[in-house]
A and B are shown apart, each in its own frame.
Chain A
Amino acid sequence: KAGVTQTPRYLIKTRGQQVTLSCSPISGHRSVSWYQQTPGQGLQFLFEYFSETQRNKGNFPGRFSGRQFSNSRSEMNVSTLELGDSALYLCASSLGGFTDTQYFGPGTRLTVL
């Protein structure tokens, strides 16, 4: 079974731009979660989507948004990019139960100049 895939793997943007990241979950998984990883803050939960609805949300500003499609693929959007948004963005998929194990993709490395 194929793992979680994320595209693109690397992105370079400038301040003020917006960016969209994509995540395809493991086949059969209905939940997709997004995490931000930075050297200073570590791994932080952004949000989780299940059956096309945001089910859980972390403490990030409204510039960070996401959505999920009927095939469970998910996208994350960051508008008005700031230098501090430079990070590795990881998505994880699970079957959908709150205690189900999350399996991670390779991440998208975003650099904001």
Chain B
Amino acid sequence: AQSVTQPDIHITVSEGASLELRCNYSYGATPYLFWYVQSPGQGLQLLLKYFSGDTLVQGIKGFEAEFKRSQSSFNLRKPSVHWSDAAEYFCAVNQGGKLIFGQGTELSVKP
């Protein structure tokens, strides 16, 4: 069965610092990968997705992610974090139309 692992449960970064959130997946074929963000009490907002082609994908709010097949990873990055980026981030893989999510990484931003 496919699975998604987000090794970091909680990360704290300073405002203006760079950010990298890790995501590892297990899947036999080419995966369809997503990053979603969830603010407290809200639903999930799509940040970006990877289906095929260029392994570096750009998303909203200045986020990007890089697909590395050799490492089974799809890490999310942002060069300069803003206080409004504090939220929970979920990596997901599409398995035949259903999303399999990682456990999420909670991001805190300190001034």
Residue positions of A touching B, CB distance < 8 A: 4, 6, 31, 33, 35, 42-45, 48, 55-56, 58, 90, 92, 98-99, 101-107, 109
Contacts and interface: CB of A to CB of B under 8 A. Distances in A.
Given A43-B101, A56-B98, A99-B94, 7 more contacts: A33-B98, A43-B104, A45-B100, A99-B32, A102-B99, A106-B42, A107-B42
Interface residue SS majority, chain A: strand
A45 B51 contact: no
Nearest to B98: A45
B36 interface: yes
Contacts of A44: 101
B34 interface: yes
Given A42-B104, A99-B32, A104 B44 contact: yes
Interface centre among A43, A45, A48, A55 (most CB of B within 10 A): A43
A42 B103 contact: yes
Contacts of A104: 36, 43-46
Nearest to B42: A106
A90 B97 contact: no
B5 to A, nearest CB: 12
22 contacts: A31-B97, A33-B98, A33-B99, A42-B102, A42-B104, A43-B104, A48-B97, A48-B98, A56-B97, A56-B98, A58-B98, A90-B44, A92-B44, A92-B99, A99-B51, A99-B97, A101-B34, A104-B44, A104-B45, A104-B46, A105-B43, A109-B41
Interface residue SS majority, chain B: strand
Interface string B66-94: 00000000000000000000000010101
